[in-house]
């Protein structure tokens, strides 16, 4: 079993839809959870990070962490064609620099 599982998609939604992206993990030591957006042939861009369980909102983006279920989510409201990208979840233990990434979910928002 991989430490971090993420459905690679692809996921295609109409413009304006609510998008739900998810990752599951097996290592209960993970404390920090991140979501990165990666456009084609570009490096990942940090979207949000969350410490431990709970929700965090930033504009159209909401990150949720449920440590009891080892499940994290990223919601995108009012999705736009410019949101079309690959979304990577990443996580790490407290005190460690190392990030463990999911495979990424490729999202297409259709105008």
Q: Give the shortest CB-56-to-another protein separation in angstroms.
A: 12
Signed CA dihedral, 70, 83, 14, 63: sign only: positive
| Encoded tokens for 48 | 């949000």
Q: How far apart are CA 28 and CA 68, in angstroms?
A: 9
Candidate segments 14-22, 39-47, 57-65, 76-84, binder of another protein by CB under 8 A = 39-47
Tell me the CB-side half-sphere exposure of residue 89, using CA atoms within 13 A. Answer: 28
Q: Give the shortest CB-53-to-another protein separation in angstroms.
A: 15
- Of 25, 30, 35, 44, the residue at the interface with another protein (CB under 8 A) is 44
Q: Is omega for the bond preceding 10 within 30 degrees of 0, making it cis?
A: yes
- Of 18, 28, 51, 71, the residue at the interface with another protein (CB under 8 A) is 51
| Encoded tokens for 57 | 């909102």
Q: Where on the chain is the footprint of another protein (CB under 8 A)?
A: 6, 8, 32, 36, 41-46, 49, 51, 88, 92, 94-95, 97-99, 101-104
């Amino acid at each position: 079993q991989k430490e971090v599982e993420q459905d690679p998609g692809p996921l295609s939604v109409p413009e304006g839809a609510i998008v739900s992206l998810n990752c599951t993990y097996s290592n209960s030591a993970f404390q920090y959870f991140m979501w990165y957006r990666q456009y084609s042939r570009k490096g990942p861009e940090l979207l949000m990070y969350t410490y431990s369980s709970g929700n965090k909102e930033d504009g159209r983006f909401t990150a949720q962490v449920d440590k009891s279920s080892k499940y994290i989510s990223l919601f995108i409201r009012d999705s736009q064609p410019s949101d079309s990208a690959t979304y990577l979840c990443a996580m790490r233990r407290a005190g460690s620099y190392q990030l463990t990434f999911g495979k990424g979910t490729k999202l297409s928002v259709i105008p």
